Amino acid sequence: MQYTLFILLISTFIGLNGLANAEVKKRVFLLASYEENHVCGGPQESGIISGLSREGWFRDLNLEVEFYYMDTKRKNNTPESMQAEAKLVIDRIKDFKPQVLITIDDNAFREVALTLAGEKNISVVFSGLNDQPEFYNQLQPFMGSRKSPGGNITGVYEKLYIKRSLDVIQRSVGGTKGSKYIGITDYSPTGNAITKQFQIELATVPEGLSWEIRRVKNWQEYTDLINLINRDEQVKAIYPVALTLMTPDNKTYTAPEIFDWTIHHSKKPEMALNYYFSQIGLFGGAAVDFRAMGFLAGKKAGKILNGSDAGDIPIEDAPEYAIVFNLNRAKSLGIEIPLPLLTAADHVYK
């Protein structure tokens, strides 16, 4: 009887405490660079919400979350339209008055978050930054160092783990000395940033490996390049990260259309930037775990809501990569992935 009464009292206390927390809701503004459910943004968003929950912050209980999608791939993909969209976002943020702004990918960070550097009433957490934090710090000072930012901004840098990806793809396709691997980027802000990441992470290329970066300005250049690569027997794989391409009639192709065409026309296996790219059809390799990256950003935001200063929370690299393969794509290319590599994979899509 006494034990039952004790449990009842504890349960009542927990329930009242939860209600008290629910009455004092904190606010987070989650700003994505691209459209809703984008193949890069969607997994990060899911991870962010889980990371907030891990730190004790739950939507509709003690946390209000406002979502905004800048749509800078399909629609607002010029400097002028991005800046116009950013002005709308800043007004929305002022009205919502969040304690924390969380940005997903570079465009949202560059166009909105940087304008809030040094603000006392709002902290910023970024996820999926491709360009170097030091580069943005030159545009608008916001950090002392990655280890100790010191201001109101922290976050997660999108490390590509490109050397690991090349190692996995070599073992997958049986690449030998003299084999060539090609990264393909566009000239969008994201394409510029990824090109720089390639150069940084592959400042020293593994011995016996040939790596090239090819850049394309539009859809025609991309399709021409793929057809050219198809005829080059030295090329063993490609790393396609041209994610915004215009056609002659001014239609914009983004990842779903670009990858669909690539899968049906390329004769080379594709290294996937993240494992969702493999899920929708690319061959695979060692890919950034976008959900884990978002989860870490969400935890940082949760710590800020719990009282930590953003300036005391280090800027970190994306914490994990995943080894992934798409078996349908491997079959269509006539590639038999070595069994030890296949059994070591984190995700195998069929």
Q: Write out the chain in H/E/C secondary structure.
A: CHHHHHHHHHHHHHHHHHHHHHHCCEEEEEEECCCCCCCCHHHHHHHHHHHHHHCCCCECCCEEEEEEECCCCCCCCCHHHHHHHHHHHHHHHHHHCCCEEEEECHHHHHHCHHHHCCCCCCEEEEEEECCCHHHHHHHCCCCCCCCCCCCCEEEEECCCCHHHHHHHHHHHHCCCCCCEEEEEECCCHHHHHHHHHHHHHCCCCCCCCEEEEEECCCHHHHHHHHHHHHCCCCEEEEEEECCEEECCCCCEEEHHHHHHHHHHHCCCCEECCEHHHHHCCCCEEEEECHHHHHHHHHHHHHHHHCCCCHHHCCCEECCCEEEEEEHHHHHHHCCCCCHHHHHCCCEEEC
Q: Do 270 and 333 touch, CB atoms closer than 8 A? A: no
Q: Do residue 98 and residue 169 come from a single domain? A: no
Q: What is the mean pLDDT of the chain?
A: 91
Average pLDDT of span 52-59: 97
pLDDT at residue 327, rounded to an integer: 96
Min mean pLDDT across 13-17, 227-231, 337-341 is at 13-17
Q: Do residue 148 and residue 244 come from a single domain? A: no
Q: Do residue 147 and residue 108 come from a single domain? A: yes
| Whether residue 266 has pLDDT greater than 90 | yes
Q: Rounded to an integer, what distance in angstroms lies between the CA atom of residue 292 and that of residue 272?
A: 16
Q: Do 338 and 172 touch, CB atoms closer than 8 A? A: yes
| Whether residue 321 has pLDDT greater than 70 | yes
Backbone angles phi, psi at 4, to 5 degrees: -60, -40
pLDDT at residue 3, rounded to an integer: 42
CATH number at 206 reads 3.40.50.2300
Min mean pLDDT across 38-52, 204-218, 327-341 is at 204-218
Q: Rounded to an integer, what distance in angstroms lies between the CA atom of residue 305 and that of residue 302?
A: 5
Q: Do residue 75 and residue 28 come from a single domain? A: yes
Q: Do residue 34 and residue 59 come from a single domain? A: yes
Q: Do residue 313 and residue 226 come from a single domain? A: no
| pLDDT band (50, 70, 90) for residue 204 | confident
Amino acid at 278: S
In total, how many domains does the chain have?
2
Q: Do residue 116 and residue 134 come from a single domain? A: yes
Q: Do residue 241 and residue 255 come from a single domain? A: yes
Q: Do residue 219 and residue 343 come from a single domain? A: yes
Average pLDDT of span 87-99: 97
pLDDT at residue 14, rounded to an integer: 41
| pLDDT band (50, 70, 90) for residue 212 | very high
pTM > 0.85: yes
Q: Tell me which residue of 267, 287, 279 sits closest to 226, measured CA to CA.
A: 267
Average pLDDT of span 114-140: 97
| pLDDT band (50, 70, 90) for residue 23 | low
Structural domain boundaries, residue 106: 2-158+290-319
Q: How large is the C-alpha radius of gyration of the chain? A: 22
Average pLDDT of span 271-283: 91
| Whether residue 205 has pLDDT greater than 90 | no
| Whether residue 21 has pLDDT greater than 60 | no
| pLDDT band (50, 70, 90) for residue 2 | very low
Q: Do residue 297 and residue 246 come from a single domain? A: no
| Whether residue 275 has pLDDT greater than 90 | no
* Location of structure tokens 């700003």: 31
Average pLDDT of span 103-110: 97
pLDDT at residue 8, rounded to an integer: 43
Q: Do residue 123 and residue 184 come from a single domain? A: no
pLDDT at residue 250, rounded to an integer: 87
pLDDT at residue 179, rounded to an integer: 87
Q: Do residue 178 and residue 77 come from a single domain? A: no
Average pLDDT of span 144-158: 98
pLDDT at residue 207, rounded to an integer: 73
| pLDDT band (50, 70, 90) for residue 120 | very high
Min mean pLDDT across 9-13, 152-156, 283-287 is at 9-13
